[in-house]
Amino acid sequence: MEDNLTPEFFTACGVTFLLCVWFLRRELPLSINLGISLLRVTLSIFYFGLYASTSNWHFLDDYRYLNTAKLLIYNGYNPFDILTSQQGISALFMASGGNHLLYRWWNLLAVWLFGSHYYSPCLLNIVLSVIGAIYFRRTLRELGYSERYQKGYLCFFLLQWDIVAWATITNLKEPMMMCFTAAAFYYLVRLTRKVNFHDAFCLAVTLILFLFVRFYLPILVITTLSIWILIEWKDKRKYLFVPVMFYLTVKLTQFSGGDTSSFLRPQQLLSGLIRFPLTPQPWQIEPEYSFLLVPSCLHWFLLIPAVSAGFALWKTQSCARLLLCYLIVTMVFFALVPEVQGPRHRVQVTFLIGWLQFHAIYGWVGNYQRRKREILQTTQENAGGRE
């Protein structure tokens, strides 16, 4: 890797910082906004400025995405004209080798903005993680959680170890998938409360965008919605919706050209359900995943509290069960496909895993504060009695 401590690098970091601050301007107090945005960018400066040139934390996909963007720039395309001409769209499809072209376009945008460097799409992925966090923060508002709870989650998730590691260090599409998934469920939750054109249109656009990232994502969303309807709806018409959902799933699969049936291993479901949430083990991390040592320790430490929080949240309200259904459906899907059971594929549901972790911590803090008040009150009463 090239030396990154250049004016171009610091300019890119500055632009990323300003974008994070701008997106968070209505979500957090200015001081907290500036602090979190600065910390996220500082971590990138530390890694790419001092460590990236000697690290081996790279995958095959990341350089494919970056090299595609470099080639398109070399051929005279930019992120805008490539989408407005038949020749440009054909070039993007050809470079992507299929429909999954959106993250390659994202790399094209990053290279066009910040230069032909590995850090360019990573910096934009920080912005994606911020947008995804904001969407889920607003979902929590729809669910009726307090302002304090919403802001607490937002701060926690923006600094959550898995999302910081993956969005800062690697040029992979998972932060984009996480952002789109959080957006899809924000609009879906709103539609369960009140059907309106705006939210339906935004959800449809998000599902279409899914097809250009990973074809199975809208299938997982539709499957989740079908299960939730069967569980929650009392109206018998729900049995008419499920065949419609199944038909949509088939059509989406045909449109995207994807087919996972040949990869499914039902006989490995049980082992997959254990492996997927527990990978990697801190004591068996491979060198290319060594950047996950601290995140994996924290993930394991909070695993049982997070599961306990999941059971507690399931009992609270219908829309919470919708979100948790998606987490379960995703886990089952990846448990059936051994090739995608690594920690990378868990990133797309990190906003939900982070919710469970935060809910557990929020409960601990609340219990501690309540206990502290009780002790203080008892002490004051005892002191008053002695007087």
d(CA 132, CA 179): 4
Which residue intervals of the chain are DSSP H helices? Answer: 7-23, 30-46, 60-74, 86-96, 102-114, 119-142, 147-158, 161-169, 174-193, 197-211, 216-232, 238-256, 269-278, 293-301, 303-314, 318-335, 350-386
Residue 104 tokens read as 């390659």
Q: Which of 72-86, 150-164, 276-290 has the highest mean pLDDT?
A: 150-164
366 — pLDDT class (breaks 50, 70, 90): confident
Longest CA pairwise span in the chain (Å): 89
Q: Are the CB atoms for 170 and 62 separated by under 8 Å?
A: yes
**What is the predicted pLDDT for the residue at 262?**
61
Least confident among 36-40, 76-80, 109-113: 76-80
Q: Are 46 and 21 in contact (CB under 8 A)?
A: no
Confidence grade of residue 307 (pLDDT, cut at 50, 70, 90): very high
In a domain, 282, yes or no: yes
Q: Which of 27-41, 156-170, 257-271 has the lowest mean pLDDT?
A: 257-271
In eight-state DSSP terms, residue 279 is P
Q: With respect to residue 386, please indicate whether it lies within any of the assigned structural domains.
A: no
Task: Tell me the DSSP string of 32-46.
Answer: HHHHHHHHHHHHHHH
pTM (2 d.p.): 0.92
Question: For residue 383, is it within any domain?
Answer: no
373 found inside a domain: no
Q: What sign for the dihedral angle of Cα 217, 222, 227, 231?
A: positive
- pLDDT, position 385: 60
Rounded Cα gap, residues 89 and 80, in angstroms: 10
The answer as to whether 291 is a domain residue is yes
Per-residue pLDDT reduced to its tens digit, 198-233: 999 999 999 989 989 988 888 899 889 989 988 888
Sign of CA dihedral 160, 289, 333, 94: positive
Q: What is the pLDDT of residue 357?
A: 98
Q: How confident is the model at residue 140 (pLDDT cuts 50, 70, 90)?
A: very high
Per-residue pLDDT, 2 = 57
67 inside domain: yes
| Residue 385 resides in a domain | no
Write down the pLDDT at residue 97. 78
Residues 6+ apart with CB under 8 A from 348: 174, 177, 178, 181, 217, 330
CA–CA distance, 175 with 130 (Å, rounded to integer):
10
Residue 308 CB-half CA count within 13 A:
11
Determine the Cα–Cα distance for residues 69 and 54; give it in Å rounded to an integer: 24
The Cα–Cα gap between 133 and 213 comes to 19
Residue 162 domain flag: yes
329 against 1, higher pLDDT: 329
pLDDT, greater one: 327 or 378: 327
How many structural domains is the chain composed of?
1
3-state secondary structure of 208: helix
Over the chain, what is the mean pLDDT? 89
Contact 2, 117 (CB under 8 A): yes
What is the model's pLDDT at position 386?
A: 60
**Is residue 20 within 8 Å of 30, Cβ to Cβ?**
no
Helix, strand, coil proportions of the chain in percent (round to 5)? 80, 0, 20
Q: Tens digit of pLDDT for each residue in 237-255?
A: 777 777 777 777 766 666 6
Give me the pLDDT at residue 57, please.
84
Q: What is the pLDDT of residue 349?
A: 96
Find the domain containing 283 and state its range: 7-367
Q: What would the pLDDT profile of 95-126 be if each residue is shown by its tens digit?
A: 887 778 999 999 999 999 999 999 999 999 99
- Residue located via tokens 């449809």: 204
Over 80: is that where the pLDDT of 260 sits?
no
Helices 350-386 & 119-142, crossing angle to 10 degrees?
60
pLDDT value for 78? 92
Rounded distance between C-alpha atoms, residue 135 and residue 183, angstroms: 6
Q: How far is CA 272 from the centre of its chain?
A: 21
In this structure, which amino acid lies at residue 279?
A: T
For the stretch 123-159, what's the b/e string if a residue is b when 16 or more beta carbons lie within 10 angstroms of its beta carbon? bbbbbbbbbbbbbbbbbbeebebeeebbbbbbbbbbe
- Asked if residue 28 has pLDDT above 80, the reply is yes
